Amino acid sequence: MGKLIVHQDKVTDINAMISICPFNALEEKDGKLEVNAGCKLCQLCVKKGQPGAMEYVEEEVKTVDKSLWNGITVYVDHVNGEIHPVTFELLGKAGELAKKINHPVYAIFIGSDIEKKAEELLHYGVDKVFVVDAPELKDFQMESYTAAFEAFVNEIKPSAILVGATPVGRQLAPRVASRFNTGLTADCTILDIHENTDLVQIRPAFGGNIMAEILTPNSRPQLATVRYKIMDAPERSAEAKGEIVKISVPAEKFKTRTQVLGITHKEKEKSIENADILVVAGRGLKKKEDLELVKELADALGGDIACTRPLAEAGWLNAKHQIGLSGRTVRPKLIITCGVSGAIQFVAGMNNSENIFAINTDPNASIFKVANYAIIGDIYDVIPKLIEQVKQGKGVKA
């Protein structure tokens, strides 16, 4: 904690100083360099500015006795007791972190009629599963869930709490963090822990162009949210270990100023724009019937089928499936193009996809310029074998 002091006599070039600040927080006023409200105290001006021009002065620090806060906790994200898989991924991470500082791994499970479901968690390396089970907690409401969470934190005093960045986690975690006047870091992609139990939280900032390493050095508990599929889920162990502990909270704590009128299950609107996985058919396909092959691969992967403009124009697929400037722009996590040459108009509609696999017989196909994985091969040979692989993989898993 501290503040910045400007030593005007050491400022040799005001404009050079102003240009250092990434937040436009330095400005010139009456020939003097001043810090405005935009300052984030990143101290770049101290480090990169003219020597001695800026000084960072430490101020008193509020402290917390970290030894009183023990355990790495995972919030069990669920709907009606169906546990969201991000929970298991976080339990895996919590286990790694806890081991480093010799802390226990906890889970906090809030809901109604969930005690039976809590048993499943015991297969994922958790020492204690704390359960707040009450009929008032059947549906998620921020106030009642926060009250349950508050009771848990007050009773157990966990050092760190990991929450899945699901629609529920992303609103519950801030409310809880604010209640305890503590820090919360959103969408961490890397987590580590210092010996003094400070959680090292690394997250992308500025749209992923920069990574920031963040600590919560003087408050407990430390909260962080992590998105689904960022951490690795541990293997489910056959043996159940650990215990389930009930926390009882007086019912009046669950009073809310919201009322759930009902819940409807979402009909998944399928469109290639919001698909995570796309398999794209191009002119490498010889006839319309061969679309079935591409479709089969898409199905096996749990994705959707898309196509290039010539196929849409030939009426092989509906225009809603067409990618490109005259079609849709897509940004899936995985895209596999099959026999697509990669015209600029097509590429413009898909080059922001996260992982691009392109299969083409022509080693000079322009699609290979944007592909992460340029696969030189015949779709008629590769796709059936790939389908086989995917199906086999799934078979083993189940």
Q: By CB under 8 A, what part of segment 150-169 binds other proteins?
A: 166-168
Region class of 324: left (phi > 0), else alpha (psi between -120 and 50), else beta:
left
**Binding-site member from 50, 55, 79, 234 for other proteins (CB under 8 A):** 79
Give the residue with the Cβ less far from other proteins, 84 or 283. Answer: 84
Size of the site for other proteins (CB under 8 A): 104
Give the residue with the Cβ less far from other proteins, 61 or 238. Answer: 61
Q: Is residue 347 helix, strand or coil?
A: helix
Q: Does 258 bind other proteins (CB under 8 A)?
A: yes
Give the residue with the Cβ less far from other proteins, 288 or 394. Answer: 394
Q: How far is the CB of 201 from other proteins (least distance, A)?
A: 8
Binding positions for other proteins, 330-349, rule CB under 8 A: 333-334, 336
Q: For the chain, what's the residue count?
A: 398
**Binding-site member from 187, 227, 247, 310 for other proteins (CB under 8 A):** 187
Q: Does 212 bind other proteins (CB under 8 A)?
A: yes
3-state secondary structure 45-91: HHHHCCCCCEEEEECCCCCCCHHHCCCEEEECCEECCEECCHHHHHH
Give the residue with the Cβ less far from other proteins, 102 or 264. Answer: 264
Q: Single out the segment in contact with other proteins by CB under 8 A; choices: 94-102, 105-113, 281-289, 377-385.
A: 377-385
Q: How far is the CB of 276 from other proteins (least distance, A)?
A: 6
Q: Does 85 bind other proteins (CB under 8 A)?
A: no
Give the residue with the Cβ less far from other proteins, 102 or 259. Answer: 259
**Binding-site member from 173, 188, 347, 350 for other proteins (CB under 8 A):** 173
Q: Single out the segment in contact with other proteins by CB under 8 A; choices: 95-103, 126-134, 240-248, 371-379.
A: 371-379
Q: How far is the CB of 156 from other proteins (least distance, A)?
A: 19
Q: Does 186 bind other proteins (CB under 8 A)?
A: yes
Single out the residue of 293, 266, 267 nearest to residue 282, CA to CA. Answer: 293
Binding positions for other proteins, 44-63, rule CB under 8 A: 44, 47-48, 59, 62
CA–CA separation, 223 and 90 (whole Å): 13
Q: State both tokens at 367.
A: 């699609």
- Burial (Cβ within 10 Å: 0-12, 13-18, ≥19) of residue 376: middle
**DSSP assignment of 304-332:** EEEE-HHHHHTTSS-GGGBBSTTSB----
Q: State both tokens at 49.
A: 């500015």
In 339-389, at which residue ranges do the beta strands (DSSP E only) sit?
355-360, 373-376
Give the residue with the Cβ less far from other proteins, 250 or 262. Answer: 262
Binding positions for other proteins, 106-125, rule CB under 8 A: none
Q: Single out the segment in contact with other proteins by CB under 8 A; choices: 7-15, 183-191, 238-246, 286-294.
A: 183-191
Identity at 234, one-letter amino acid code? P
Q: Does 287 bind other proteins (CB under 8 A)?
A: no
Single out the residue of 67, 68, 76 nearest to residue 162, CA to CA. Answer: 76
**Binding-site member from 66, 175, 227, 253 for other proteins (CB under 8 A):** 175
CB neighbours of residue 150 within 10 Å:
16
Q: Report the sign of the C-alpha dihedral through residues 235, 239, 241, 245, in that order.
A: positive
Q: How far is the CB of 243 from other proteins (least distance, A)?
A: 29
Site string for other proteins, 2-41 (x = CB under 8 A): xx----------------x-x-xx---------xxxxxxx
CA–CA separation, 124 and 22 (whole Å): 44
Q: Does 96 bind other proteins (CB under 8 A)?
A: no
Q: Is residue 317 within 8 Å of 339, Cβ to Cβ?
A: no
Q: Is residue 56 within 8 Å of 2, Cβ to Cβ?
A: yes
Q: Which residue has the tokens 């944007």?
A: 370
